[in-house]
Amino acid sequence: MIEAAARMALAAERELEALVAVSSPSGDLEGAEECVALATAFLPTEAEVERVECSTPRHARDLIGRLRGTGSKRVVLLGHLDTVVPHDGHRPLARDGDRLTGSGAVDMKGGVALALALMRELADRPELYAEAAVLLVNDEEWRTSGFAHAPRFADFDACLCFEAGERTATGDEAVIVKRKAAATLRVHAHGRSAHSGSAPHKGRSALLALAAAAQIVASRHDPDGPDRLTAVPTILNSGDAFNVVPAQGELLCDLRADRIEAFEPVLAAVPDEHDDVRLETTMVRAWPGMDSRDATREVIAAASEVLGRPIAASERGGASDASHIAAGGIACTIDGLGPRGGGAHAPHEWVSAESIRTRAEVALAVASALLAR
């Protein structure tokens, strides 16, 4: 199958341009529907197409494409179509040498393009699988509810997720088999307003209480500890006027750790009250970690032989829907199969054009090794 990489890369680059041309921030119905229409058109004609309810209410329905084969294995390819980039910051794809720069290029429309290209290759080889499916969701970038689709694919043999790829320090191609758990901690503060000039003593500052809460969360930061916990305050909003003691406010903190259980002590450390300001602390998002090293070791070794060069099993701190799929029952979950790039969530987000071909080779090698087992 490796010889198909050049054909896959040529089509994937063109389809990446079409996908990136659509601004699709998470929650935007029109952008999501346009991306789903493009992805549906890029699926092989043999695929059965189904629209299923998104995990997040009031989002566009997600897309599933299915191929039926005569083999024995069942594999799902996974990706997302939404981005974090608002409409006024959207950039269509532009080439500068090897760099293809555009909103959502690396996270993760480049990976979506490769997954769809792989589906077309699989359509020509139905003897390799009993079922090959692709699941493209519209809410990965800001989902606070549970992931609805894990039960749907729990009895599949493997999941291949096409988040951005990477190389090791020595230049070997790498895939992701371990991810940290991730959570968003939110603190609401309820104080009392007062004139900040004539009667500041009558107020109770939500801002100062949240600043204290932020310090408490940050004090739990322990990246070298047993759970490799990172606890980082990221957003603080409080106050409506320059001359009023702020009565309300909100703090958001990003938490990452090897175990999802490591987040509970951070939540418990924030008090219910600070200086007569009531604090309400909740975990608005908690994603499981992923550790598929044991379940994927043989597949990755076999894929390296198919590819003719090493594929490294790596880990990453960022969250991914692959973690939900792995936690839902698919032990053999391999992530990071998308093209390499950088600048995710930033205006300069890009993918390497050269890596579209090399990562297509990796995806083909992994799929070949997996389906040959």
In three-state form (DSSP H/G/I as H, E/B as E, the rest C), the secondary structure along 292-341 is CHHHHHHHHHHHHHHHCCCEEEEEECCCCHHHHHHHCCCCCEEECCCCCE
Is residue 312 scored above 80 in pLDDT? yes
Is residue 83 scored above 90 in pLDDT? yes
Q: What is the pLDDT of residues 183-211, one digit of tens each?
A: 999 999 999 999 999 999 999 999 999 99
Secondary structure string (H, E, C) spanning the chain: CHHHHHHHHHHHHHHHHHHHCCCCECCCHHHHHHHHHHHHHHCCCCCEEEEECCCCCCCCCEEEEEEECCCCCEEEEEEECCECCCHHHCCCCEEECCEEECCCHHHHHHHHHHHHHHHHHHHCCHHHCCEEEEEEECCHHHCCCCCCCCHHHCCCCEEEECCCCEECCCCCEEEEEEECEEEEEEEEEECECCECCCCHHHCECHHHHHHHHHHHHHHCCECCCCCCEEEEEEEEEECCCCCECCCEEEEEEEEEECCHHHHHHHHHHCCCEECCEEEEEEEEEEECCEECHHHHHHHHHHHHHHHCCCEEEEEECCCCHHHHHHHCCCCCEEECCCCCEECCCCCCCEEEHHHHHHHHHHHHHHHHHHHCC
Looking at residue 3, its pLDDT comes to: 85
pLDDT band at 225 (very low <50, low <70, confident <90, very high): very high
Name the percent of the chain lying above pLDDT 90.
Answer: 95
Q: What is the pLDDT of residues 111-166, one digit of tens each?
A: 999 999 999 999 999 999 999 999 999 999 988 888 999 999 999 999 999 999 99
d(CA 315, CA 318): 9
Of the candidates 356, 338, 12, the residue with the CA atom closest to the CA atom of residue 175? 338
Neighbours of 240 (CB within 10 A): 9
d(CA 200, CA 67): 67
Looking at residue 56, its pLDDT comes to: 96
Domains and CATH numbers, the chain: 2-180+289-371 (3.40.630.10), 181-287 (3.30.70.360)
pLDDT band at 334 (very low <50, low <70, confident <90, very high): very high
Q: How far is CA 227 from CA 180, 224, 244, 256, 263, in A?
A: 9, 8, 42, 9, 10
Mean per-residue pLDDT, 169-179 = 96
Paired tokens of 298? 């043989």
What is the rounded average pLDDT for all residues in the chain? Answer: 96
Q: What is the pLDDT of residues 248-284, one digit of tens each?
A: 999 999 999 999 999 999 999 999 999 999 999 999 9
- What's the CA dihedral at 29, 31, 33, 35 to 10 degrees? -150
pLDDT band at 307 (very low <50, low <70, confident <90, very high): very high
CB 355 within 8 A of CB 340: yes
Looking at residue 317, its pLDDT comes to: 85
d(CA 195, CA 244): 5
Looking at residue 373, its pLDDT comes to: 77
Paired tokens of 247? 């009565």
Paired tokens of 202? 């009558």
d(CA 179, CA 176): 7
Paired tokens of 183? 């959570």
